[in-house]
Amino acid sequence: MTQTANLTTVAAPPKRSFVAFIMGIPISIHVRGPRARDAGVEAAVERAFAALRLDDLLFSTYRADSEVSRIRRGELALASADRRIREVARLCALANDKTAGAFSAWLPDADGVVRFEPTGLVKGWAVEGAFGTLVGDLDRFGPHDVLINAGGDLHVNCRRTDTPDWVIGIEDPRDRGRVLRRLQLRTGAVATSGTSARGRHILDPRTGEPVRAELLSATVVGPCLTWADVYATAAFVHGRRALSWLAMVPGYGSLLLATDGTVLTTGA
């Protein structure tokens, strides 16, 4: 007499998504786990959004009264600015060094004057910080998985062991809504750089001119969103040459889509 194993299908844990519009971009947070729909989790997510709004008040170049705007107008010295701005400036200098100048926070304005412009680093950095705090906040509710998507820059974390990997689609810039590649991640960050939806050009800081793009997009995967974001931007500036540089960055992988449709990858 044979006994068949009685396989019980375990229901997937509850999942909830939250969306807010901050820094001019849509920010989605997904939480997966037994308490995902609880008020306590919602409160923690709201705190994450609040932290991002505070950073927007400090850093937004679209707000005339932000400290960064005042720095750009020469009304406030960087040395006297909020601690978080000074931290960002320090990271920008480091990023400039690590990317051989392809990333810089000193960029020419519309009128050609070079000013402090940390936006390229602030986004990933602010999101990474809020995300890290959120992950810590959720620990009190038991193991949960979290994903944040800030307008295309993602950070994920899994505390559960009974859930599938987060599946992230890399958008095909030639056909939005079409996925170029999928990648599966439990912990880490994904950042994609390319011609923005508004068609705003990415400047090459070494020349001050818009990048003559050899790439349609550059996606970088790694442990920290701050650096994934910086490297993706720098890769877009470097073009196809970014491949050999990215291949030597420990812990980070990349996917580059060239203008001729070729897909180049490192680290995965």
Partner 1 sequence: MRRITTAIMSTITVLVLLFSYRTSLGATAATASDTMTTPDEPGSNTSTQTGASATPTTAPVTTPSAAPTTSTPDPTASDSTGSTSTDGTFAGDSVPTRFGPVQVQVTVAGGQLVDVHAIDYPNSDRHDQRINAYAIPVLNDEALQARSAQIDAVSGATITSDAYIESLQSALDAAHL
State the Cα–Cα distance between residues 204 and 237, nearest whole angstrom: 6
Closest to 61 (Cα-Cα) out of 19, 105, 102, 125: 105
Task: Name which position in 17, 80, 244, 262 contacts partner 1 (CB under 8 A).
Answer: 17
Q: Which is nearer to partner 1, 111 or 199 (CB)?
A: 199
Closer to partner 1 by Cβ: residue 116 or 236: 236
SS3 content of the chain, % helix, strand, coil (to 5): 35, 30, 40
What does the alpha-carbon distance between residue 171 and residue 169 come to, in Å, rounded to a whole number? 6
Tokens for 133? 């705090």
Is residue 169 near partner 1 by the rule CB under 8 A? yes
Query: Residue 74 or 177: which CB sits closer to partner 1?
Result: 177
Interface of this chain with partner 1, residues 192 to 231, rule: CB under 8 A: 192-198, 217, 219, 221-224, 226-227, 230
Q: Which is nearer to partner 1, 182 or 212 (CB)?
A: 182
Query: How far apart are alpha carbons 37 and 20 in whole angstroms?
Result: 17
**If binding is defined by CB under 8 A, does position 28 make contact with partner 1?**
yes
Site for partner 1 contains 141 (CB under 8 A): no
Stretch touching partner 1 by CB under 8 A, among 72-80, 110-118, 119-127, 240-248: 119-127
3-state SS of 81-138 is CCHHHHHHHHHHHHHHHHCCCCCCCEEECCCCCEEECCHHHHHHHHHHHHHHHHHHHH
The least CB distance from residue 239 to partner 1, in Å, is 16
CA dist 238 and 240 (Å) reads 7
By CB under 8 A, residue 50 contacts partner 1: yes
Nearer to partner 1, 12 or 114 (CB): 12
Cβ proximity to partner 1, 56 vs 116, nearer residue: 56
Binding-site residue total for partner 1 (CB under 8 A)?
98
Interface segment toward partner 1; rule CB under 8 A; list 15-23, 74-82, 103-111, 240-248: 15-23
